[in-house]
Structure 1
Amino acid sequence: MIPIHFRTTLRRASRLALVFSLLFGSLLLAACHRGDDVQWRLTDVAGHMPDLDFRLVDDQGKAVTGQDYRGKVVLLYFGYTHCPDVCPLTLAQLHVVMQRLGPLADGARILFVSVDPARDTPDIMHAYVNAFDPRAVGLSGTPREIEALSKRYRSAFTREPDKGDGQYEVSHSSAIYVFDRDGKARLLATPGNPQDDLVHDLHLMLSLGNRS
């Protein structure tokens, strides 16, 4: 059973996703640039970040690895379901990005990796990520596995002191890592990047395929 406080958070998250959808759902994607003059708007990390590689559990309770997402453009994000602000905001914006990509979005997956595995069970993760977008997958694992994956991509998180009632917050990095269909790290998005930049680069990556 999903706890009451989580259901409240989920309702707020769903409303937030709806608001972003209404605000941006009517925007049309600019015409795609073709040819060899592609200019990424996000930070190009090709050759500076390792390939997509992990062994975790998805929100269906199934063991998965980075290989399971080959053939898809992957957006990797570290967060947790009790996050009061940045996580629901980020996932709501990623939902709008997927909407703006139209049919191309089926070639992408949002991987939401929990930095709070003690509370984020597969059932809770499944309900949470699906409140935002059907192409989002919740991933969790042991504390050691999560820490290792976080360090692999130079992310960071810190659990704040327990408030005495089992409630606590987790401070974490907020970057979005974009991997191409071969699992190669290609781009890095931060909260400072306009949504249009992420849409632009994903559109190019999904429509033109992987680029060397």
Structure 2
Amino acid sequence: MRAILYGLLFLVAAGIGYVAFDWYAKVGSGEAYGGAFQLVDQKGQPISEKEFRAQPSAVFFGFTHCPEICPTTLFELDGWLKQLGPEGENIRAFFVSVDPERDTPEIMDQYVSNVSQRITGVTGDPAKVAAMTKSFNIYSRKVETGGGEYTMDHTASVLLLEKGGAFAGTIAYGENGQTAVAKLKRLATGS
């Protein structure tokens, strides 16, 4: 009986190890992270994965009706980029809506422009946004709150992508500001 238990534990540990290795191999491979997409920016202009790959990028997925996490993250991201000054001028920042049904380009423009001139809002056809978020391994789900209203559950980390689109890490919601600035500095300098 004990041998069977040890055998099962070994198989579970090996399976977890394989999954972790496979994930790390994909994100640490130097290949562009996420799939191709065709959406629009907050001005209604076409935007694709090429924009995420042209320069180092900080990408946050959220929605304009978010009560706390999204406005806080956008405000902090803008502040961190300002702290970097000229050293971080090559970093592009994006706010991708996980609620494109409500987040039209006009709404995104008003929302993002109130927070930052450095961050570009991204939205589009709901099916295309869903495919894009899935390709970036972003969790999002509509949660009914009653009376025809809803909120969105979603991944609350900022993705960091190197020039070329390779995964460079994340900044977690609530992460220490000095740590976040240090991560953005490494992203900007490529080190």
Aligned to 1:177: 159
* TM-score normalised by the chain length of structure 2: 0.78
Of the candidates 98, 110, 130, which is equivalent to residue 93 of structure 2? Answer: 110
Q: How many residues get paired? A: 166
Report the AA paired with residue 175 of structure 1.
S
- Equivalences for residues 193-204 of structure 1 within 5 A: 193-204=175-186
The one-character-per-residue Cα deviations of 1:144-180 (angstroms, maximum 9, x if unpaired) are 212112211221111112532x532111110111011
| Correspondence list, 1:4-153, <5 A | 45-47=27-29, 50-52=32-34, 53-153=36-136
Structure ranking higher in helix proportion? 2
The Cα of 1:107 is off from its aligned counterpart by 1.0
In the alignment, the residues of structure 1 paired with residue 80 and residue 117 of structure 2 have an alpha-carbon distance, to the nearest angstrom, of 13
SS at match of 2:100: coil
The structural deviation recorded for 1:69 is 4.1
In structure 2, C-alpha distance between the alignment counterparts of 1:70 and 1:50, rounded to whole Å: 8
In the aligned structure 2, how far is the partner of 1:51 from the partner of 1:201?
18
Aligned partner of residue 107 in structure 1, secondary structure: coil
CA RMSD of aligned residues (A): 2.3
More displaced, 46-55 or 85-94? 46-55
The answer to whether the aligner puts 1:188 opposite 2:170 as a matched pair is yes
Contact 1:50 1:184 in 2 (8 A): yes
Residue 82 and residue 64 in structure 1: after superposition, are their counterparts in 2 closer, same or farther (change >3 A)?
Answer: same
Q: Is 2:32–2:53's contact at 8 Å kept on the other side of the alignment? A: no
Deviation at 1:46, TM superposition (A): 2.5
1:114 Cα deviation (Å)? 0.5
Contact 1:160 1:168 in 2 (8 A): yes
Query: What is the rounded CA distance, in whole Å, between the counterparts of 1:94 and 1:158 in structure 2?
Result: 24
Report how far residue 191 of structure 1 moved. Answer: 1.9
Contact in 2 for aligned 1:50/1:152 (Cα 8 Å) = no
Identity of aligned residues (%): 30
Gaps of 5+ in 1: 1-42
Distance 1:162-1:192 versus aligned 2 partners, 3 A rule? closer
TM-score, length-scaled by structure 1: 0.71
Unaligned runs of 5+ in 2: 1-23
Tell me the alpha carbon deviations over residues 82-111 of structure 1, each in whole angstroms, 9 at most, x when there is no partner.
Answer: 001100011111111011111223211211
Give the structure with higher Rg (CA): 2
Q: Comparing 47-56 with 188-197, which one deviates more in the overlay? A: 47-56
CA-CA distance at 1:48 after TM superposition: 8.3
**CA shift at 1:193, angstroms?**
2.8
Mark the CA change 1:136 to 1:65 in structure 2 (over 3 Å): closer, same or farther: same
Contact (CA 8 Å) 1:110, 1:135: kept in 2 or not?
yes
Q: Distance in 1 between matches of 2:119 and 2:97?
A: 13
